[in-house]
Amino acid sequence: MEYTVKSGSPEKQRIGCVVVAVYNPRKLSPSAKILDKACDGMISNLIRRGELEGEIGQSLLLHNVENTLCDRILLVGCGKEKDISTSNYRKINSTMVSVLKNSGATEIASYLTEVPVKRRDITWKIRQSIEAIDAELYQFNQLKTDQKPPRRPLRKFIFSVSGRGQLMDGEVAVRNGMAVSTGIQLAKDLANLPGNVCTPSYLAKHAIAMEKQYPKVKTTVLEEKDMQKLGMGSLLSVSRGSRQDGKLLAIEYTGGDKKQAPIVFVGKGVTFDSGGISLKPGAAMDEMKFDMCGAASVLGTLSACAELQLPMNIVGIVPTVENMPDGLAIKPGDIVTSMSGQTIEILNTDAEGRLILCDALTYAAKYDPDVVIDIATLTGACVVALGAHPAGLLGNHNPLINDLLNAGQTSGDRCWELPLWDDYQEQLSSNFADIANIGGKGAGTITAACFLSRFTKKYHWAHLDIAGVAWSSGKQKGATGRPVSLLMQYILDRLEDSTSNK
């Protein structure tokens, strides 16, 4: 998809379709009023007759409107003008695309950028529009034999800005939006691949390909023998049950000064999770291919950073394994030794994500990081607690927590803080080892984070539990690409802060 920005009056746009807003109840936006005046009140007459109330999700497509140069005009309902939220703005753009993708129009001029959203500027609206448009158009057809693209697919969106003074900011927003959206799509593509294709070796090959694609990216792949030398007994205990060798990927993007401490992202990469000896129920087990969505989001985020050539240092660490019930698989009651030297009693082999993350988090200390953020589809308890809207957030550094919360609000890819109190640590006590890998029935998301916190005492750390937001089930089953948008907003906010402080 091609995106660009332009200033100009809507009735003068010689294009396939011009898109304007209508607010509830039956109120025309400024651009809709201009079009209405050009066509001698045709639009307002239709609105008065009840063709469109202006509610979110409504639309009305008009053809060959007199005294305009466009082929079509699409009126999109936006709800009450003063109550348009981040999520509603995305829904408005999604409605636009759902109508237009089969309309025959190929080039679109969108005036939805004039829709007011509290405390959001034109650059924010352009970025959100691009993400919403690409999300609506996304399809995963790589493994289908019959791939029929639309006869006349959408190929270009032009976002309206109010004057030439906004053109430069608009162009920057387009560039950022396209990079973030491409990162989201990469995360979706990797996660949607089946477990027999997207294996630890597949992720390693993709990480190596990134090194070839981007000059500032360096990829290191640790094989099982390398991890054995480092003492990663916790991670290796999970991979033992699979015929696919486990790996640890370290992708370094060096866009900043050599002395700049990096932001480190650690993404859980369980390419298929059977539960191991503690076998999961068969229903919906196919969705356990999504247990590597944390890894996918790290790769998507790094790809976006490299595409934008951001002047920052960022490291992505991906511990990647399969969790299978082979004869060599770990058993409940087994005790393993982590890279940190702490011993872990395995009470449930389906709590494997924390076993691979803890060694990766210990490994992260070698980069002398500014902050470390791990991203993982870690606990079903997070889905119970928060549902499918925010990711769970816990950590040991309040400024980092606040930065992520704010980035979530800005991006619309939200997270919600849960307490990481010492009181919960007692649930991880073991009679036979330093720590147990589960903490009982209560507060599962919190005790999982408590487990990880034992390995993050050397740096500022935050944990994102994305179990409820990483994919959708049911008819629209598929990866969401979250939290790439959140992570990229966090990075861009950090970049903006560092630039303004100079």
Q: Is 72 considered catalytic here? A: no
CB 207 within 8 A of CB 318: yes
- 409: Cβ–Cβ under 8 A, 6 or more apart, which residues? 86
Going from the C-alpha of 113 to that of each of 86, 92, 448, the distances in angstroms are: 13, 11, 42
CA distance 138 to 159: 20
CA distance 58 to 22: 9
CA distance 156 to 138: 15
In the set 354, 414, 454, 482, the catalytic residue is 354
With both helix axes pointing from N to C terminus, report the angle between 167-192 and 484-500 in degrees, rounded to the nearest 10. 140
In the set 175, 280, 458, 494, the catalytic residue is 280
CA distance 182 to 179: 5
- 119: Cβ–Cβ under 8 A, 6 or more apart, which residues? none
- 44: Cβ–Cβ under 8 A, 6 or more apart, which residues? 28, 36
Instruction: Please name the residue ranges forming H helices in 81-198.
Output: 86-100, 122-137, 167-192
CB 468 within 8 A of CB 378: no
Going from the C-alpha of 184 to that of each of 187, 190, 421, the distances in angstroms are: 5, 10, 33
Beta-bridge partner residues of 77: 22
Q: Is 6 considered catalytic here? A: no
Going from the C-alpha of 258 to that of each of 31, 292, 313, the distances in angstroms are: 49, 31, 8
Q: Which residues are catalytic?
A: 280, 354
